[in-house]
């Protein structure tokens, strides 16, 4: 009788192969999961920073570059708690005065249009809108004088913090300095 040569794998060899394959799949899956969390975190961080930057840009330069921002203010007033500011601009017609203010309240930056006076930035106004909601931890306005020129320089800081979908805190502080041209 001829001996038949058996070909193939034994059950032990198959189990060892499956075990090694499962370890490789687990490593790849954990890498993918971690990469996804980092991607989501980075995107959320970028989004909240862009929102804060948009608010700062609107305060400094006006909405859509309409030149009705703090940079073009003729007068301004900052609250004693340094968390609100009001200012007045001359509209593009050269005559109309535009008075508006920005303030912090309940983790939100509010814009107040049509102020009666720039002396009380937290009261009055016919239109209140929300610029950045639920994430603002600080809104500071600091005035200084330029070292060499003595010009007034206003520094705006917006601090943001939010819990991300991945369970991490995202945020930071954005700031800018502006010298109102009309002062």
DSSP reduced 3-state for 38 = helix
* Mean pLDDT (whole number) for 130-140: 81
Cβ neighbours, 10 Å, residue 130:
11
| pTM as predicted | 0.71
Q: What are the CA-CA distances from residue 161 to residues 14, 87, 139, 173 (Å)?
A: 52, 27, 12, 9
pLDDT score, position 79 = 67
Residue 13 Cα to chain centre, angstroms: 56
| Greater pLDDT, 134 or 27 | 27
| Greater pLDDT, 150 or 64 | 64
Least confident range of 57-61, 129-133, 159-163, 176-180: 129-133
The 10s digit of each residue's pLDDT in 25-73 is 999 999 999 998 889 888 888 888 888 888 888 888 888 767 778 888 8
Give the integer Cα–Cα distance in Å for 82 and 101.
Answer: 13
pLDDT score, position 118 = 56
pLDDT score, position 74 = 80
Give the integer Cα–Cα distance in Å for 136 and 162.
Answer: 8
Give the integer Cα–Cα distance in Å for 105 and 110.
Answer: 7
pLDDT score, position 165 = 76
Q: How far apart are the first and last CA of the chain?
A: 111
pLDDT score, position 126 = 60
140 pLDDT higher than 70: yes
The 10s digit of each residue's pLDDT in 1-21 is 667 667 788 899 999 999 999
pLDDT score, position 121 = 47
pLDDT score, position 77 = 75
CA atoms within 13 A on the CB side of 142: 11
The residue extents of the domains of the chain are 41-178
The 10s digit of each residue's pLDDT in 103-133 is 888 788 888 877 765 554 445 556 677 877 7
């Amino acid at each position: 009788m001829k001996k038949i040569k058996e070909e193939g794998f034994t059950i032990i060899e198959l189990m060892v192969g499956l075990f090694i394959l499962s370890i490789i799949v687990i490593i790849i899956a954990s890498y993918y999961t971690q990469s996804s969390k980092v991607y989501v975190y980075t995107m959320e961080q970028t989004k909240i920073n862009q929102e804060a930057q948009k608010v700062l840009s609107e305060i400094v330069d006006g909405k859509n570059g309409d030149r009705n921002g703090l940079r073009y203010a003729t007068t301004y007033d900052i609250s004693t708690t340094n968390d609100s500011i009001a200012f007045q601009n001359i509209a593009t017609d050269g005559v109309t005065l535009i008075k508006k203010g920005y303030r912090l309240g309940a983790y939100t930056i509010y814009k107040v249009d049509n102020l009666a006076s720039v002396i009380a930035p937290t009261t009055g106004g016919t239109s209140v809108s929300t610029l950045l909601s639920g994430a603002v931890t600080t809104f500071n306005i600091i005035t200084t004088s330029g070292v060499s020129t003595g010009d007034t320089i206003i520094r705006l800081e917006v601090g943001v913090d939010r819990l991300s979908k991945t369970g991490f805190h995202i945020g930071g502080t954005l700031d800018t300095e502006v010298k109102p041209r009309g002062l």
